[in-house]
Chains A and B, each alone.
Chain A
Amino acid sequence: MSAFLKVIVGDRGNLAVVAFAVALAAALVEAGFVTAAALVVPLVLLAGVRWLAAR
């Protein structure tokens, strides 16, 4: 079961990066900054990739 969950969500760091990006996207869209979300979220995800790779 733990192997299955690891396939789905990865480790805690991976989950944290995606949760942060999705929460940020939701906040921006809710505040009406839809175009800004489309520009900011990819940058945030790439920053998350850097953090995960450098750990």
Chain B
Amino acid sequence: MAGWSIFLATFLAAAVEWVEAFTIVLAVALGIGWRAAGGAALAALALLAAMTAASGGLLALWLDLAWLQGTIGVLLLLFGVRWLAKAVARRAGLKALHDEDAEFAETRRLLARSDRHAAWLVAFKGVLLEGLEVWLIVVALGLQKGSTLAAAAGALAALVIVAAAGAFARAPLRRVPENAIKLAVGAMITAFGTFWTLEAMGGARTWPWGEWSLPALAVFYIAGGLALAQQLRRSRAAASAAGP
């Protein structure tokens, strides 16, 4: 069960990040060509792969199991809580939805003043920064009980699908339901973080249902996130109706 849930969590999280990275690479490719922009993206992906291999190995060597579990749990909480809060704020209308077309236009505007070398760097940096979140999730989820293969496969599968869809469309991938995915992934990552942080502190007796507590936690955070978004939306509507 854990292997599939890790694959799904990394696949969904990586898909969101790769879509954002693709928008930047597409904008650069229209200026300096697909060969150069693709080269910049591949260089960033190679660096991310090296970082994943090195950091995963170092963490596994340095920390014992309880410390490793605790460290991973806290890292996942830092990541999951942020994604969940962002998705709730967007669903409640408190924060604007991520707009791939606006991102594309902004990158094109920036590139209009740049030379070829600077444009290459924009593609490299864009893929690297978006990929850092994927790196964090793959390393954190992959270290637990040797699930590196499932985590890396999830991220790679997402990369292949986004790259194929991008190559076919040759336009920003605006139809991806980014916020719904972000809410689900934020809930799943927060569930993993809660489970492992508490298990590292209290041992196996912390969770009476064992690993089945994980889907229960994920459902709790998804339902809680949806309820919070609705409640925040109502509060906002009531405040607007009350006037200044």
Contacts and interface: CB of A to CB of B under 8 A. Distances in A.
A8 B81 contact: no
Contacts of B228: 46, 49-50, 53
Interface residues of A, number: 29
Contact of B81 (A4, A14, A26, A37): A14
Interface string A42-55: 10011011101110
B198 A29 contact: yes
A34 B213 CA distance: 14
A10 B194 contact: no
Given A21-B77, A34-B205, A53 B197 contact: no
Interface size class of B (residues with CB under 8 A): 35 or more
B85 A49 contact: yes
Interface string A4-29: 10011110001101100110011001
A22 B77 contact: yes
B84 interface: yes
A8 B84 contact: no
B98 to A, nearest CB: 15
B217 interface: yes
B201 A4 contact: no
Interface in B7-22: none
Interface in B197-244: 197-198, 201-203, 205-208, 213, 217, 220-221, 224-225, 228-229, 231-232
B contact patch SS: helix
A22 B81 CA distance: 13
B113 to A, nearest CB: 21
Nearest to B80: A45
Nearest to A4: B132
Contacts of A25: 197-198, 201
Interface stretch (B34-42, B57-65, B88-96, B155-163): B88-96
Nearest to B82: A10
A38 B220 CA distance: 13
B94 to A, nearest CB: 7
B190 interface: yes
19 contacts: A3-B132, A8-B75, A8-B136, A9-B78, A14-B78, A21-B77, A22-B77, A25-B197, A29-B201, A34-B206, A38-B206, A42-B220, A45-B221, A46-B220, A49-B84, A49-B85, A53-B92, A53-B229, A54-B94
Interface of A: 3-4, 7-10, 14-15, 17-18, 21-22, 25-26, 29, 34-35, 37-38, 41-42, 45-46, 48-50, 52-54
